[in-house]
Structures are given as C-alpha cells and as structure tokens.
Chains A and B, each alone.
Chain A
Amino acid sequence: GAVVSQHPSWVICKSGTSVKIECRSLDFQATTMFWYRQFPKQSLMLMATSNEGSKATYEQGVEKDKFLINHASLTLSTLTVTSAHPEDSSFYICSARSLSTDTQYFGPGTRLTVL
C-alpha cells in the first residue's frame, strides 16, 4: 500500500529557532501534498496545500512567512516553522495525494514542542 513518512517523528526546540519537517511519499508520486496541524484533543486543521514545482496555497489565518513550504519533487515536501514559539507546539501531519488512485495518504505525524 501507499506509504507516507515524516521526519522527525518528534522534535523539541528552543523558542526562536527554526524547525524543518519532511514529508515523503515512499512508493508513489504525489503532485499535491497537504499539511495539517492538530492541537491536543482537537481535530486536524488544514494549513496549506503544497503543489510540486509551484507555490503553496495557505488557508486563511496561516502565516505563509512563518510556515515555509517547499515541494521540490514528486515525493518530498518540507514544512519549516520559522522562529518557533511555544504556541506553535502542536502535532503536524502531512498527507500526499496519489496520482494513480486520487486518494490522500497520511503520514504518522511530527510532534513539535517549543520550549
């Protein structure tokens, strides 16, 4: 089956530093990847849609200069949280849409804790 990986699975950083999270589709190509954020005991909220070779589309209220998204290949998208603050602490989940099945497959998530 289609597998999506995320790295790292968890990260702890100091306030003011930047953190990069990778999302990879391991056995399929994905022109579109999605980044979600999930706060404790809440549901997933779409942050942005990442399209290979073009700029990401951000949802209302998501700062594009704070959450930098790069989708340089058909199997890799990265999310960089710049100048992270404690309120950015959350569970970040990516998904990738398979070209062949038109289905989104989800990664295992990355737990970000900003001290």
Chain B
Amino acid sequence: KQEVTQIPAALSVPEGENLVLNCSFTDSAIYNLQWFRQDPGKGLTSLLLIQSSQREQTSGRLNASLDKSSGRSTLYIAASQPGDSATYLCAASFSGGYNKLIFGAGTRLAVHP
C-alpha cells in the first residue's frame, strides 16, 4: 500500500529559526512529489514540485529535496517568519497511477515572534 507520512505533526519555533519538515513515502517508484501550504479553512497553495529525476527544488527561502532510495523528502524553511505559520502537506504520485496524489497528514507549523 502506498503511504505518505509526515513528521512532526506539529512544530512551534521562534521567529528566525531554520527548520526542516520531513516526509516519507513507501514506494520508491515515485513519479513526483509536491509540497503544499494550507492556511486554516483555506485551499492548497503549491510551494514546490520535484520530479522523480530531480533531487531538489528551491523557491526563495524554501528548499525541498527528494531521495528516492530512502523514500524521503524534506522541506527546508530558512529564517522562518510568523507569516510562515500554516499546515504544510506533502503529496506524492507514483508510477502507474501518476495522476493520483497521496497526501501526508501534514505538519502544523507555528512561528512565534
């Protein structure tokens, strides 16, 4: 069964810290992996998309890596700000069902001033 797991479930940090969110997946035949941000009661904002042939993607203070052999992806947030407070979801699609996104449960991040 293809599963996506995220740890930690919740994280609270002071402003300015660099932090890492973890995502693991059970099937190495991954097609791509995406990181999303979700604010309370809102839809999803796509942050980064990593294709299976790539090892990382960067956008501003965000960097996401993908290691297929270990079944892991990390989202690195540099110099965190209170505005980064949200739930971060990772979702993977796998070969043979590449249309279907399987989501992790998310990490609820709180950055306090």
Instruction: Give residues in A with beta carbon < 8 Å to B.
Output: 6, 32, 34, 42-46, 49, 91, 93, 95, 97, 103-109, 111
Contact = CB atoms under 8 A, between A and B. Distances in A.
Given A44-B89, A104-B101, A93 B106 contact: no
B44 A106 contact: yes
B49 interface: yes
Given A104-B99, A106-B36, A107-B43, 10 more contacts: A34-B99, A34-B100, A43-B104, A43-B106, A44-B44, A45-B103, A46-B102, A103-B49, A104-B101, A106-B44
A85 to B, nearest CB: 22
Given A43-B105, A44-B89, A49 B44 contact: no
Interface string B16-33: 000000000000000000
Nearest to B34: A104
B104 A49 contact: no
Contacts of B106: 43
A96 B76 CA distance: 27
Given A49-B99, A103-B49, A111 B41 contact: yes
Contacts, number: 41
B110 to A, nearest CB: 14
Contacts of A111: 41
Interface in B53-107: 89, 91, 99-106
Interface residues of B, number: 17
The 4 closest A-B pairs by CB, nearest first: A108-B43, A106-B44, A109-B43, A43-B103
19 contacts: A6-B43, A32-B99, A42-B105, A43-B103, A44-B91, A44-B103, A46-B101, A49-B99, A49-B100, A91-B41, A95-B101, A103-B49, A104-B99, A105-B46, A106-B36, A106-B43, A106-B46, A107-B43, A111-B41
Contact of A93 (B43, B46, B104): B43
